[in-house]
Amino acid sequence: MTDPLPPVEPLDARRATDMDEASSLIDAVFRLERAVTRIGNARLRPWGMTLSSYTALRILARQPHLTLAQLARRCYARPQTMTRMVTQLESRGLVERSAHPESERALSLRVTDEGLAALREMGVEVLKVSDTLNSLLDREAIAATDRQLRQAAQVVEKEVKEMGQTAG
């Protein structure tokens, strides 16, 4: 088990020399991601699942016939990690691979009926994480924060892409 997260004072309670606003935001995002992963993993433990594998299963349920590479991109995971995850899900009968309808070489991934049933059961627990966040922020605040974080991610991703083009 990992150590509990140390308490963090809000930005306005710290000296300006400790951390600028953007650095504080990055710290808060990482802290939230870690906390959500930990509580999600704890809530999914009875099913022997992690939040990452649940997310992959949920994405496949919404978008059947993805390839491993497509699923890895949608889950922000490395292909090797996704291969291991899908192999585990497949061995448990939650996912199956078959010939891809649009490609002779690719394999298509699909959630099985057993996987859909497990998703319904697990979804009740995962929604409790959302309920926790909803108790803190109203819908408008969540929507605005989501929009701003996605815009920030796009700006940083564009910069990374431009850096890659100039590095070569």
The residues facing 66 across adjacent strands are 109
Block mean pLDDT (10 aa), the chain, length 168: 57 56 88 94 95 96 91 93 95 91 81 96 92 89 92 92 77
Could you read off the pLDDT of 87-101 as tens digits, one per residue? Answer: 999 999 999 998 877
Q: How far apart are CA 105 and CA 36, in angstroms?
A: 37
**Angle formed at CA 124 by CA 122 and CA 129, multiple of 5 degrees:** 100
Q: What is the pLDDT of residue 18?
A: 58
Paired tokens of 51: 């939040």
Q: What is the pLDDT of residue 17?
A: 47
Helices (H) and strands (E) in the chain, counts: 6, 2
Q: What is the pLDDT of residue 64?
A: 87
Question: Residue 98, SS3?
Answer: strand
Question: Where does 9-161 show beta strands of DSSP type E?
Answer: 95-99, 107-111
